[in-house]
Amino acid sequence: MPFSDILKELVNGTEGAIGALVVGVDGIPVDEFSVDQAMDLQSMTVEYASLLKEIEKGSRAAQLGSTREVTVMADRAMVMLRRLNAEYFLVLVIGPNGNFGKGRFLLRMSVPKFLKEF
């Protein structure tokens, strides 16, 4: 199944979702699906890739192991980042009134689908 199909399934299955992306740890998106073109998801992921690297350093320094998931709740959106492997992570962006729990569940369930494609 192509990345775009999995991303579309993730966004369409999550009430209030704005978009989803597969992103390299360098912050460069590999693929994306968005229902709201007003938000620049690609620029956002560059910033969050840097944040994920710093959080990863903190997790390792505290001897907690690798960071698997990070969620940021802002005024205009909830941003969930889920590690796929050492090189890529998955991003789901949900509007402030969206279904966070369903999004988190579908994000987790999408990981094996993406790993099959790598």
> Over the stretch 15-37, which tens digit does the pLDDT of each residue have?
999 999 999 988 889 999 999 77
Instruction: Kindly report the three-state secondary structure assignment for every residue of the chain.
Output: CCHHHHHHHHHHCCCCEEEEEEEECCCCEEEEEECCCCCCHHHHHHHHHHHHHHHHHHHHHCCCCCCCEEEEECCCCEEEEEECCCCEEEEEEECCCCCHHHHHHHHHHHHHHHHHHC
Predicted TM-score (pTM) above 0.85: yes
Confidence of residue 62 (pLDDT cuts 50, 70, 90): very high
The whole-angstrom separation of Cα 112 and Cα 62 is 28
The per-residue pLDDT for 33 is 93
Of 86 and 103, the structure prediction assigns the larger pLDDT to 103
Which CATH fold topology does 3-117 show? Beta-Lactamase (3.30.450)
Which one-letter amino acid corresponds to residue 79?
A: V
In the chain, where the domains are located: 3-117
